[in-house]
Structure 1
């Protein structure tokens, strides 16, 4: 479990495919992550992964094909910057919202505008997630907890996509990877878990 408050920006150091196995990602960190045990969970741009090896300011993770197919991790190469967050501990301050680290899919940036010193970012989400994003609700983008501004249909989309906007302050733009996004870039998104379970209850009503 996470909160969507990013603590560090890491760098992909290597990506390797194991013979007959999963993909391995080695991530360099800007400072040592103290007291991180083998088997601990760390969110990599919103995707919860398990530490299988570590050293001085680096971690190694194995990523399944399922995770590669549902996230941006399949396109990561050495040198890519990623958001890092350690798992929430009981008693920690909950600064964002409850984030599971289970990515629902990949959205894309469709607009970027500077407004009074902040960044107004517009993203498009594919069906069926358009039903699960609400104005002033929470959403996680590349591991960052954000508040949705407006929600509406994506102009010209033939995929039934839904657009929504978020505002990020200069601190968030600088201390996460969101400030460097360009139009067309993909992001990992996680729908607020309350919306996820509410949708499931409605789907199975009367079952």
Structure 2
């Protein structure tokens, strides 16, 4: 379980494919300071991945074809920066919101308006996921917990307006993302549980 508060970023060092699995090596961080062990879970751009090897300056993760197809990890290349967060511990403050690290789909950046006090970012999200989004609610994008400022449901998709404060821009990968980039999306898990309970009709 995660919170959507990115702890640091790393860079993709290499990606190697072997028997249907892609091994990602992420560099640019000190394992002694980041304090993750073999088998630990780390959210990489919001995807819960398992540490498979530890190096002097980073970690490796094995990624399945299914994860590559559902997330934006398949679009990453060496030198691309990624958001990183270790799994939360019981007793930690929940500064963001509850995030499982199981990506629901992808959203597209439609526009970025760089203002003096922050950036207004508009993303499009298909209706199958936007039905779980509410104004002033939380959404996780590339592992970052963000608040929905405005929500407009259009015929083809929903448009979600977000405001990124300077700290978010500086401490995450958002400063490098272009219009058209597809973000990993995890919607609020509580709303999905509620929908499941309301529709549950056992045979």
Fold match, TM over 0.5?
yes
> How much has 1:31 moved relative to structure 2?
3.0
8 Å contact from structure 1 (residues 121, 165) kept in 2: yes
The 2-side partners of 1:205 and 1:147 are apart by: 33
Structure-2 residue corresponding to 1:36: 36
Structure-2 residue corresponding to 1:150: 150
The 1-side partners of 2:64 and 2:88 are apart by: 23
The 2-side partners of 1:189 and 1:164 are apart by: 12
TM-score normalised by L of structure 1: 0.92
8 Å contact from structure 2 (residues 20, 65) kept in 1: no
> How much has 1:205 moved relative to structure 2?
5.6
- The SS at the match of 1:150 is strand
Unaligned runs of 5+ in 1: none
Cα distance change on mapping 1:206 and 1:150 into 2, 3 Å: farther
8 Å contact from structure 1 (residues 8, 29) kept in 2: no
The Cα offsets for residues 122-173 of structure 1, whole Å up to 9 and x where unpaired, read as 111123112111001110000000110111134xx6xx21111111110110
> How much has 1:30 moved relative to structure 2?
3.1
**1:11-50 maps to which residues of 2 (within 5 A)?**
11-18=11-18, 20-32=19-31, 33-50=33-50
RMSD: 1.6
The 2-side partners of 1:132 and 1:169 are apart by: 24
Unaligned runs of 5+ in 2: none
The 2-side partners of 1:125 and 1:70 are apart by: 14
The 2-side partners of 1:34 and 1:172 are apart by: 19
The 1-side partners of 2:17 and 2:172 are apart by: 27
8 Å contact from structure 1 (residues 132, 199) kept in 2: no
- The SS at the match of 1:99 is coil
> How much has 1:34 moved relative to structure 2?
4.3
TM-score normalised by L of structure 2: 0.94
**1:119-138 maps to which residues of 2 (within 5 A)?**
119-138=119-138
Moved over 4 A (4+): none
The 2-side partners of 1:129 and 1:199 are apart by: 12
8 Å contact from structure 1 (residues 105, 189) kept in 2: yes
Figure out how many residues of one structure are paired with residues of the other and give that number.
Answer: 202
8 Å contact from structure 2 (residues 37, 54) kept in 1: no
